[in-house]
Chain A
Amino acid sequence: MPLLEIESLAVSYGPIKAVRDVSLTVESGEIVTVLGANGAGKSTSLQAVVGLLPIQQGRVRFDGFDVTGESTERIVRRGLTLTPEGRRIFAPLTVEENLRIGAATQKSGGDTAQLWDQMMELFPILATRRKQLAGTLSGGEQQQLAIARSLMSKPRLLLLDEPSLGLAPIVVEMIFDLIGRLRQMGLTILLVEQNVHQALDIADRGYVVSGGTVVLSGSAAELKTSPDVQKAYLGHA
């Protein structure tokens, strides 16, 4: 049984039908990437999956439970969370406060402390920025904070929405390294990316979304050699 199963999802953004028909699955332990141009409906799909946008049609199943239409906070408590596009850190709060609030779902202080230590190990830069306001961090640091904040809820499935957006190439490299490390730690990841090369290098499988529908899917290797993907996204003729 897949960990996440999205079945003919349709989502409207006001009068615009941003997602028409998106179906995909993510198996436990996988990295699955969703590719597509700006406005293809990738972000909208992710937001709908975690209940931040109303689902018009279709089903979302997580871990065997139908979570369609559930509130965001319930879905997050089930172990599915989203690191949103543009990072969306709480700029006027300190790094520490951002992480503390990420652990809002943790019942015991011991669990929070353990997660905290884990994050400091995974993101050493955040340890040195602890008391700093999150808004004063660099873009790469903010992205690390956003991911660490998501991890504080101990998710089993992490939805990552364009984590490399607006970052310098060397920082992008580091973020992709990190995603690989997270998988080794047992996390399942659904990655939305415009950095097609790197996304396909790290992913097991991928989907290509265009005009709000899935137009192509397959293993990362298949997608890399697919003429359509090469033409549209990899810049080969």
Chain B
Amino acid sequence: METLIQQCVNALSLGGTYALLALGLAVVFSVLGMINFAHGEILTIAGYTVFFSIIGAVPPILIIPLALLVAMASAALMERIAFRPLRGASPTSLLITSFAVSGILQMLFQNLISARPRPVPIPAALTGAFNVGPFHIGVIQSLSICATFAMVGFLTLFLKRTMLGIAIRAAAVDFPTTRLMGLRANRVILAAFAISGLLAGVSGLLWIAQRGSVDPLMGFLPVLKAFIAAILGGIGNLTGAVIGGFFLGAIEIGLQAVLPESVQPFRDAIALSLVVLVLLYRPQGLFGAAHSVRP
């Protein structure tokens, strides 16, 4: 029973990180019809921001807001510099461009910072665990879960209550008609990127809090997982992205718990086979695909 609860906490925490990243991919996909594979590098940038803030003796209370701000700004810059000049290009061109952006950033991290992982000291308060009745629950895991739900809640409010949020949802349905409302297309797209940057920043913070280090290539694996989660949920569908993230987290942690030691090396292969199985029966993902029209 105890292990079961603990594994559930682990699954929620890992799944939550995937969910936030998948949500960021889905927000951009819903308005632009493009998967931004450089999304993972935003997570890395958030990590490096924390690393340099600690070196630069930035007051601890400012580190998190700073990292999130830098993450949002870099996502917005990415759109402005790399993607805006390609407005109207085919989704394939945009996809390739996002790979290029990802590659360029990884190379810059390697050459300008270091190819090796840099340690990020995690405050002792975060590394511990606390007891709820008989259960032993990790602080970071709990924080991850809370952060995920807080972000999903924030995003829901943003998308439902603000003009920009409603515009992002409208643009996901029909971009040309959204422009007929007098909404500036570039502003809506920029907002979508900034939101995706914020989500990647939060998942970046959670990710390095678990690893205790940053390295140039750390963004690749989580964004790949998030991509799988987004596909699983139904690409472009925001609810689907969240569910897909949790689903993938549950599969991975579940397999880790039940597979015998000798089969563990094949865990990812088995997890992906399960995903393929789901997609065989529901090629549009668990929640279907949101209709998307490019500007």
Contacts and interface: CB of A to CB of B under 8 A. Distances in A.
Residue from B163, B170, B180 whose CB has the most chain A CB atoms within 10 Å: B180
A149 B181 contact: yes
Secondary structure type dominating chain B contacts: helix
Nearest to B179: A72
B78 to A, nearest CB: 22
Contacts of B176: 52, 72
Given A90-B173, A90-B174, A93-B173, A101 B179 contact: no
B174 A88 contact: yes
A72 B183 CA distance: 9
Interface in A134-153: 149-150, 153
B122 interface: no
Contacts of B174: 88, 90
Nearest to A75: B182
Given A93-B166, A97-B166, A104 B182 contact: yes
Given A92-B169, A93-B169, A97-B166, A104 B183 contact: yes
Contact of A105 (B169, B177, B181, B185): B181
A187 interface: no
Contacts of B163: 100-101, 104
B27 to A, nearest CB: 15
Contact of A73 (B169, B173, B183): B183
Nearest to A83: B180
B182 A52 contact: no
B167 to A, nearest CB: 6
A81 B166 contact: no
B180 A101 contact: no
A153 B181 contact: yes
Contacts of A77: 182
B170 A101 contact: yes
Given A90-B173, A90-B174, A91-B173, A72 B180 contact: yes
A50 B181 CA distance: 11
B184 interface: yes
Interface size class of B (residues with CB under 8 A): 10 to 19
Contacts of B179: 52, 71-73, 76
A82 interface: yes
A84 interface: yes
A73 B177 contact: no
B180 A90 contact: no
Scoring A71, A77, A88, A90 by chain B CB atoms within 10 A of each residue's CB, the highest score goes to A90
Given A101-B167, A104-B163, A76 B177 contact: no
A100 B184 CA distance: 15
Contact of A84 (B166, B173, B180): B180
A54 B176 CA distance: 13
A101 B178 contact: yes
A84 B185 contact: no
A90 B169 contact: yes
A1 to B, nearest CB: 24
B183 A101 contact: yes
Nearest to B169: A93
A91 B167 CA distance: 13
Interface string A84-100: 10001011110001001
A81 B180 contact: yes
Contacts of B183: 73, 101, 104
B166 A82 contact: no
Nearest to A79: B182
A36 interface: no
Residue among B174, B177, B179, B183 having the largest count of chain A Cβ atoms under 10 Å = B177
Contacts of A206: none
B173 A76 contact: no
A102 interface: yes
A135 to B, nearest CB: 10
A88 B181 contact: no
Interface in B88-129: none
21 contacts: A52-B179, A52-B180, A73-B179, A77-B182, A81-B180, A88-B174, A90-B169, A90-B170, A90-B177, A92-B169, A93-B170, A93-B173, A97-B169, A97-B170, A100-B166, A101-B166, A101-B183, A104-B163, A104-B183, A150-B180, A153-B181
Q: Which 10 A-B pairs have the closest CB atoms?
A: A105-B182, A76-B182, A72-B179, A88-B177, A90-B170, A104-B183, A104-B181, A73-B184, A90-B173, A101-B166
Given A71-B185, A73-B185, A101-B163, 9 more contacts: A52-B179, A76-B180, A88-B174, A90-B169, A90-B174, A93-B173, A101-B178, A150-B180, A153-B182
Interface of A: 50, 52, 71-73, 76-77, 81-82, 84, 88, 90-93, 97, 100-102, 104-105, 149-150, 153
